[in-house]
Protein backbone atom coordinates (compact mmCIF):
# COMPACT_ATOMS: atom_id res chain seq x y z
CA UNK A 1 0.00 0.00 0.00
CA UNK A 2 1.46 3.34 -1.09
CA UNK A 3 0.64 6.09 1.41
CA UNK A 4 1.09 9.82 0.92
CA UNK A 5 0.72 12.54 3.53
CA UNK A 6 -0.23 16.03 2.38
CA UNK A 7 1.32 18.71 4.58
CA UNK A 8 0.99 22.51 4.56
CA UNK A 9 2.72 24.39 1.74
CA UNK A 10 2.92 28.05 0.90
CA UNK A 11 0.73 29.29 -1.92
CA UNK A 12 3.88 29.98 -3.94
CA UNK A 13 4.78 26.27 -3.92
CA UNK A 14 1.71 25.06 -5.77
CA UNK A 15 -0.93 26.04 -8.29
CA UNK A 16 -4.29 27.23 -6.99
CA UNK A 17 -6.08 25.60 -9.93
CA UNK A 18 -4.30 22.23 -9.69
CA UNK A 19 -6.44 19.29 -10.66
CA UNK A 20 -8.34 16.50 -8.93
CA UNK A 21 -6.26 14.53 -6.43
CA UNK A 22 -7.28 11.11 -7.79
CA UNK A 23 -4.31 9.19 -9.21
CA UNK A 24 -4.80 5.89 -10.99
CA UNK A 25 -7.58 3.38 -10.30
CA UNK A 26 -8.40 1.66 -6.98
CA UNK A 27 -7.68 -2.06 -7.16
CA UNK A 28 -10.60 -3.16 -4.94
CA UNK A 29 -13.16 -1.34 -7.09
CA UNK A 30 -11.54 -2.59 -10.30
CA UNK A 31 -11.97 -6.12 -8.97
CA UNK A 32 -15.71 -5.54 -8.45
CA UNK A 33 -16.02 -4.03 -11.92
CA UNK A 34 -14.29 -6.97 -13.56
CA UNK A 35 -16.44 -9.47 -11.65
CA UNK A 36 -19.68 -7.73 -12.62
CA UNK A 37 -19.08 -6.70 -16.22
CA UNK A 38 -21.91 -8.92 -17.43
CA UNK A 39 -24.21 -7.30 -14.88
CA UNK A 40 -23.09 -3.87 -16.01
CA UNK A 41 -23.80 -4.60 -19.64
CA UNK A 42 -27.37 -5.53 -18.79
CA UNK A 43 -27.98 -3.76 -15.48
CA UNK A 44 -31.35 -2.41 -16.62
CA UNK A 45 -32.71 -5.93 -16.94
CA UNK A 46 -31.67 -6.91 -13.42
CA UNK A 47 -34.17 -6.60 -10.59
CA UNK A 48 -33.79 -3.23 -8.90
CA UNK A 49 -30.99 -2.04 -11.18
CA UNK A 50 -33.26 -0.12 -13.52
CA UNK A 51 -34.76 1.93 -10.68
CA UNK A 52 -33.81 5.58 -10.39
CA UNK A 53 -31.04 6.06 -7.85
CA UNK A 54 -32.03 8.25 -4.89
CA UNK A 55 -29.21 10.05 -3.08
CA UNK A 56 -29.37 12.71 -0.37
CA UNK A 57 -26.52 15.24 -0.49
CA UNK A 58 -25.26 17.33 2.42
CA UNK A 59 -22.98 20.34 1.92
CA UNK A 60 -20.52 21.46 4.60
CA UNK A 61 -18.78 24.82 4.24
CA UNK A 62 -15.73 25.69 6.36
CA UNK A 63 -14.57 29.31 6.31
CA UNK A 64 -12.16 31.61 8.11
CA UNK A 65 -13.43 33.76 10.96
CA UNK A 66 -12.75 36.90 8.92
CA UNK A 67 -14.57 35.68 5.80
CA UNK A 68 -17.47 37.75 4.55
CA UNK A 69 -20.97 36.38 5.06
CA UNK A 70 -21.52 36.00 1.33
CA UNK A 71 -18.49 33.74 0.82
CA UNK A 72 -19.89 30.36 -0.24
CA UNK A 73 -23.31 31.58 0.88
CA UNK A 74 -26.30 29.29 1.14
CA UNK A 75 -27.61 30.81 -2.09
CA UNK A 76 -24.36 29.96 -3.91
CA UNK A 77 -24.38 26.42 -2.53
CA UNK A 78 -28.01 25.92 -3.56
CA UNK A 79 -27.18 27.10 -7.09
CA UNK A 80 -24.28 24.63 -7.20
CA UNK A 81 -26.54 21.86 -5.93
CA UNK A 82 -29.21 22.62 -8.54
CA UNK A 83 -26.65 22.31 -11.33
CA UNK A 84 -25.45 19.01 -9.86
CA UNK A 85 -29.03 17.76 -9.49
CA UNK A 86 -30.02 18.75 -13.04
CA UNK A 87 -26.91 17.08 -14.48
CA UNK A 88 -27.27 13.75 -12.73
CA UNK A 89 -31.02 13.63 -13.35
CA UNK A 90 -30.15 13.05 -17.02
CA UNK A 91 -28.53 9.76 -15.98
CA UNK A 92 -31.22 8.29 -13.75
CA UNK A 93 -29.83 9.69 -10.50
CA UNK A 94 -32.11 11.83 -8.34
CA UNK A 95 -30.28 14.02 -5.84
CA UNK A 96 -32.04 15.77 -2.97
CA UNK A 97 -30.52 18.40 -0.70
CA UNK A 98 -30.38 17.19 2.88
CA UNK A 99 -28.89 20.33 4.36
CA UNK A 100 -26.13 22.94 4.40
CA UNK A 101 -23.85 23.46 7.40
CA UNK A 102 -21.37 26.28 7.95
CA UNK A 103 -18.25 26.00 10.13
CA UNK A 104 -16.46 29.21 11.07
CA UNK A 105 -13.10 27.92 12.22
CA UNK A 106 -9.65 28.92 10.98
CA UNK A 107 -8.22 25.47 11.66
CA UNK A 108 -10.99 23.45 10.01
CA UNK A 109 -11.20 25.87 7.06
CA UNK A 110 -7.91 24.53 5.66
CA UNK A 111 -7.65 20.82 4.97
CA UNK A 112 -3.96 21.03 5.67
CA UNK A 113 -2.99 17.49 6.63
CA UNK A 114 -4.48 14.33 5.18
CA UNK A 115 -3.15 10.85 4.58
CA UNK A 116 -4.00 9.08 1.34
CA UNK A 117 -3.76 5.44 0.36
CA UNK A 118 -2.55 6.05 -3.19
CA UNK A 119 -3.28 2.47 -4.27
CA UNK A 120 -6.96 2.68 -3.34
CA UNK A 121 -7.25 6.49 -3.68
CA UNK A 122 -8.73 6.54 -0.21
CA UNK A 123 -8.37 9.09 2.58
CA UNK A 124 -7.09 7.29 5.67
CA UNK A 125 -7.23 10.16 8.11
CA UNK A 126 -6.42 13.76 9.01
CA UNK A 127 -5.86 15.84 12.12
CA UNK A 128 -7.87 15.17 15.27
CA UNK A 129 -9.80 18.42 14.74
CA UNK A 130 -10.64 17.67 11.12
CA UNK A 131 -11.66 14.08 11.78
CA UNK A 132 -13.92 15.30 14.59
CA UNK A 133 -15.48 17.74 12.09
CA UNK A 134 -16.16 14.93 9.63
CA UNK A 135 -17.62 12.69 12.33
CA UNK A 136 -20.01 15.27 13.78
CA UNK A 137 -21.27 16.34 10.36
CA UNK A 138 -21.69 12.81 9.04
CA UNK A 139 -25.21 11.41 8.84
CA UNK A 140 -27.04 8.79 6.81
CA UNK A 141 -25.79 5.59 5.22
CA UNK A 142 -23.12 4.69 2.67
CA UNK A 143 -25.63 5.90 0.05
CA UNK A 144 -25.50 9.43 1.52
CA UNK A 145 -23.27 11.98 -0.24
CA UNK A 146 -21.30 14.44 1.90
CA UNK A 147 -19.59 17.36 0.16
CA UNK A 148 -17.06 19.55 1.98
CA UNK A 149 -15.82 22.94 0.77
CA UNK A 150 -12.78 24.57 2.42
CA UNK A 151 -11.03 27.89 2.13
CA UNK A 152 -8.00 25.85 1.06
CA UNK A 153 -7.09 22.25 0.35
CA UNK A 154 -3.42 21.31 0.40
CA UNK A 155 -2.04 19.32 -2.51
CA UNK A 156 -4.96 19.51 -4.94
CA UNK A 157 -8.08 21.47 -5.86
CA UNK A 158 -10.49 18.64 -5.13
CA UNK A 159 -10.69 15.01 -4.07
CA UNK A 160 -13.51 12.50 -3.67
CA UNK A 161 -13.44 8.98 -2.29
CA UNK A 162 -14.49 6.10 -4.52
CA UNK A 163 -17.08 3.61 -3.38
CA UNK A 164 -15.05 1.09 -1.40
CA UNK A 165 -16.25 -2.52 -1.25
CA UNK A 166 -16.67 -3.68 2.34
CA UNK A 167 -16.14 -0.30 3.98
CA UNK A 168 -17.19 -0.64 7.66
CA UNK A 169 -19.80 1.76 9.02
CA UNK A 170 -17.22 3.02 11.52
CA UNK A 171 -15.28 4.50 8.58
CA UNK A 172 -18.20 6.18 6.81
CA UNK A 173 -16.99 9.55 8.10
CA UNK A 174 -13.96 9.17 5.80
CA UNK A 175 -16.23 8.95 2.74
CA UNK A 176 -17.06 12.13 0.87
CA UNK A 177 -15.93 14.85 -1.52
CA UNK A 178 -13.54 17.64 -0.55
CA UNK A 179 -13.06 20.82 -2.62
CA UNK A 180 -11.68 24.34 -2.40
CA UNK A 181 -14.28 27.07 -2.18
CA UNK A 182 -12.77 28.75 -5.24
CA UNK A 183 -14.07 25.92 -7.50
CA UNK A 184 -17.66 26.38 -6.28
CA UNK A 185 -20.02 27.61 -9.00
CA UNK A 186 -19.25 31.31 -9.35
CA UNK A 187 -15.91 31.04 -7.52
CA UNK A 188 -12.55 32.55 -8.40
CA UNK A 189 -10.58 29.60 -9.84
CA UNK A 190 -9.67 30.11 -13.53
CA UNK A 191 -11.64 27.68 -15.77
CA UNK A 192 -12.78 25.83 -12.65
CA UNK A 193 -15.71 27.84 -11.29
CA UNK A 194 -18.53 26.84 -13.63
CA UNK A 195 -19.81 24.12 -11.34
CA UNK A 196 -18.62 21.04 -13.21
CA UNK A 197 -15.64 20.45 -10.92
CA UNK A 198 -18.13 19.09 -8.40
CA UNK A 199 -19.82 17.05 -11.15
CA UNK A 200 -16.41 15.48 -11.87
CA UNK A 201 -15.76 14.67 -8.21
CA UNK A 202 -19.18 13.16 -7.63
CA UNK A 203 -18.52 11.01 -10.69
CA UNK A 204 -15.68 9.44 -8.70
CA UNK A 205 -18.06 8.91 -5.76
CA UNK A 206 -20.30 6.93 -8.12
CA UNK A 207 -17.36 4.82 -9.32
CA UNK A 208 -16.08 6.60 -12.44
CA UNK A 209 -12.37 6.85 -13.20
CA UNK A 210 -10.65 9.53 -15.23
CA UNK A 211 -11.17 8.86 -18.93
CA UNK A 212 -7.43 9.30 -19.44
CA UNK A 213 -6.58 6.63 -16.85
CA UNK A 214 -3.85 4.41 -18.26
CA UNK A 215 -3.17 6.69 -21.20
CA UNK A 216 -2.93 4.80 -24.47
CA UNK A 217 -2.36 1.40 -22.88
CA UNK A 218 -4.23 -1.18 -20.86
CA UNK A 219 -7.86 -1.06 -19.70
CA UNK A 220 -7.95 2.70 -19.18
CA UNK A 221 -11.13 3.60 -17.27
CA UNK A 222 -12.66 0.13 -17.85
CA UNK A 223 -15.46 1.63 -19.97
CA UNK A 224 -15.71 0.72 -23.66
CA UNK A 225 -17.26 3.91 -25.06
CA UNK A 226 -14.67 6.36 -23.72
CA UNK A 227 -11.80 6.36 -26.26
CA UNK A 228 -8.27 6.02 -24.92
CA UNK A 229 -6.51 9.35 -24.42
CA UNK A 230 -4.00 11.16 -22.28
CA UNK A 231 -4.86 14.04 -20.01
CA UNK A 232 -6.30 17.31 -21.39
CA UNK A 233 -5.23 20.44 -19.54
CA UNK A 234 -7.63 23.16 -18.41
CA UNK A 235 -6.30 25.88 -20.69
CA UNK A 236 -9.69 27.34 -21.58
CA UNK A 237 -9.95 25.66 -24.98
CA UNK A 238 -12.35 22.88 -26.00
CA UNK A 239 -10.66 20.95 -28.85
CA UNK A 240 -13.56 18.50 -29.33
CA UNK A 241 -12.99 16.18 -32.28
CA UNK A 242 -9.59 17.64 -33.11
CA UNK A 243 -7.41 16.41 -30.25
CA UNK A 244 -6.16 12.83 -30.57
CA UNK A 245 -3.49 11.86 -28.07
CA UNK A 246 -3.76 8.11 -28.88
CA UNK A 247 -3.75 8.25 -32.72
CA UNK A 248 -3.18 4.52 -33.13
CA UNK A 249 -6.42 3.73 -31.28
CA UNK A 250 -10.06 4.41 -32.28
CA UNK A 251 -11.69 7.72 -31.49
CA UNK A 252 -10.54 11.20 -30.58
CA UNK A 253 -10.14 12.69 -27.11
CA UNK A 254 -13.47 13.15 -25.36
CA UNK A 255 -12.61 16.56 -23.95
CA UNK A 256 -16.28 17.33 -23.26
CA UNK A 257 -16.55 14.42 -20.83
CA UNK A 258 -17.07 15.29 -17.17
CA UNK A 259 -14.26 12.89 -16.21
CA UNK A 260 -11.61 14.65 -18.29
CA UNK A 261 -9.47 17.54 -16.99
CA UNK A 262 -10.48 20.03 -19.63
CA UNK A 263 -11.88 23.43 -18.59
CA UNK A 264 -15.20 23.49 -16.73
CA UNK A 265 -17.21 25.09 -19.57
CA UNK A 266 -16.14 22.29 -21.95
CA UNK A 267 -17.46 19.42 -19.84
CA UNK A 268 -21.07 18.52 -20.53
CA UNK A 269 -21.56 14.76 -20.86
CA UNK A 270 -21.28 11.25 -19.49
CA UNK A 271 -21.38 8.34 -21.95
CA UNK A 272 -23.92 5.48 -21.85
CA UNK A 273 -21.12 3.28 -20.51
CA UNK A 274 -20.43 5.73 -17.68
CA UNK A 275 -24.16 5.90 -16.97
CA UNK A 276 -24.21 2.12 -16.65
CA UNK A 277 -21.07 2.10 -14.49
CA UNK A 278 -22.49 4.61 -12.01
CA UNK A 279 -25.64 2.56 -11.55
CA UNK A 280 -23.78 -0.72 -11.30
CA UNK A 281 -21.29 0.55 -8.70
CA UNK A 282 -24.01 2.24 -6.67
CA UNK A 283 -26.15 -0.90 -6.45
CA UNK A 284 -23.20 -3.26 -6.02
CA UNK A 285 -21.10 -1.29 -3.53
CA UNK A 286 -22.93 1.66 -2.00
CA UNK A 287 -26.33 0.00 -1.77
CA UNK A 288 -24.96 -3.51 -1.50
CA UNK A 289 -27.77 -5.04 -3.54
Asked whether residue 17 carries a pLDDT value surpassing 60, the answer given is no
In a domain, 260, yes or no: no
Confidence band (pLDDT; 50, 70, 90) for 38? low
In a domain, 206, yes or no: yes
Share of the chain above pLDDT 90, in %: 64
What is the arrangement of strands in the sheet containing 114-117, beginning at the earlier edge strand?
3-6, 114-117, 122-126
CB 260 within 8 A of CB 212: yes
Average pLDDT, the chain: 87
d(C-alpha 149, C-alpha 60), whole Å: 6
CATH code for the domain in which residue 212 is found:
3.40.390
Active-site residue, 201 included: yes
Asked whether residue 39 carries a pLDDT value surpassing 80, the answer given is no
For residues 17 and 147, the model is more confident at 147
In a domain, 115, yes or no: yes
Annotated active-site residue in 13, 103, 201, 217: 201
Question: What average pLDDT does this structure show over 32-54?
Answer: 67
Question: What average pLDDT does this structure show over 195-219?
Answer: 94
Question: What average pLDDT does this structure show over 226-252?
Answer: 88
Convert the pLDDT of each residue in 120-154 to its tens digit.
Answer: 888 899 999 999 999 999 999 999 999 999 999 98
In a domain, 256, yes or no: no
Question: What average pLDDT does this structure show over 194-201?
Answer: 95
Confidence band (pLDDT; 50, 70, 90) for 189? confident
Q: What is the pTM of this model?
A: 0.90
Question: What average pLDDT does this structure show over 159-166?
Answer: 92
Share of the chain above pLDDT 70, in %: 88
The total number of structural domains in the chain stands at 1
- Is the dihedral angle over the CA atoms 35, 38, 41, 46 positive or is it negative? negative
In a domain, 225, yes or no: no
Range of the domain at 18: 3-216+271-286
Convert the pLDDT of each residue in 73-98 to its tens digit.
Answer: 999 999 999 999 999 999 999 999 99
In a domain, 230, yes or no: no
pLDDT at residue number 33: 87
In a domain, 234, yes or no: no
Lowest mean pLDDT among 59-63, 106-110, 172-176, 285-289: 285-289
In a domain, 266, yes or no: no
pLDDT at residue number 7: 41
pLDDT at residue number 9: 39
d(C-alpha 21, C-alpha 44), whole Å: 32
Amino acid sequence: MAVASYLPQTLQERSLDSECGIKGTPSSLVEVIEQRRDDEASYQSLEGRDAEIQVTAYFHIAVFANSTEDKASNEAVKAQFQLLKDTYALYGINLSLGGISREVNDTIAVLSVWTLDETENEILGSTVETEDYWKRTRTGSYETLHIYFYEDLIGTAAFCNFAKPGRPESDYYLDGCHLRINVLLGGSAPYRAYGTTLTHEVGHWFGLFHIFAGGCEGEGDYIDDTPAQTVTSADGTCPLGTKDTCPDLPGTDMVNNYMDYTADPCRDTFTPGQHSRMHNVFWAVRSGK
